[in-house]
Amino acid sequence: MKAIKILETAILSDNWYTLKKITYEMADSDGITVTQVREAYDRGNGATILLYNKEQGTVVLTRQFRLPTYINGNETGMLIECCAGLLDEDNAEECIRRETMEETGYQVTAVEKVFEAYMSPGSVTEILYFFVAAYSRELKMHNGGGLETEQENIEVLELPFSQALEMIRTGEIKDGKTIMLLQYAALHHLCG
C-alpha cells in the first residue's frame, strides 16, 4: 500500500475538542493517486468498564443525559451505559479506576483489560480501552454520581445481569460500549 501524504490540515473547531479538515493523497485500488478530503474529530482516547458481581449475578451501570442522543431522536436524552471517561493525562488503567470511583462510588482494585476498539473510525480518532472488574459492597466508598465541577449528574444502577441483557433486546440499552461489554460478560460467564 502506498503511503498516505497529508497535504493540508485545517482546524474547523477547537471549542470543546478538535475538529480538523484534512486533505491527503493516497493510492486507490488501481494504484492511481487520488486526493481526498475528510473531517476527523479528536477528543482524545478513553476507557470504559463493566462492574460485575458473579455471586449476585448483577452489574453496575449508569444513567445520564447525553445531548447527541437527544438531538438524534432519544426522547429523554437519557442513556444507560457502562462507566467511562477520557484518559486526560492518565494511562487507561489509572483513568478507569478514577472514573469508576467518581461515577459509581466503587473503589475497584483488580481491573482487567479485555480489548480496545475504535468506536466510530469514520469520523472520530478515539480508541476506547475496555475493562471488567468484580465489585462487592465492601468496595463502595460513596454514592457516586460524577463530579459537580464537570456538571455530571449520573445515576448509578445495580441491575440483574439477565435484565441488562434483556434491555439490549428491548432497546433500553443502546450504547455500543455497554452492549459490547455485556456481551463479553455473557460469552465469558462473568455473571453466574
Domains in the chain: boundaries: 5-42, 46-187
Is 46-187 a domain of CATH 3.90.79.10?
yes
Q: What is the mean pLDDT of the chain?
A: 92
Inform me whether the pLDDT recorded for 82 exceeds 80: yes
Beta strand 127-134 with 46-53 is parallel
The reported pLDDT for the residue numbered 149 is 60
Ranges 4-8, 20-24, 96-100, 143-147: which has the least confidence: 143-147
pLDDT band at 28 (very low <50, low <70, confident <90, very high): confident
126 grid coordinates: 478515539
The reported pLDDT for the residue numbered 5 is 93
| 61 Cβ neighbours under 8 A, 6+ residues apart | 80, 81, 82, 83, 157, 159, 164, 173, 178
pLDDT band at 89 (very low <50, low <70, confident <90, very high): confident
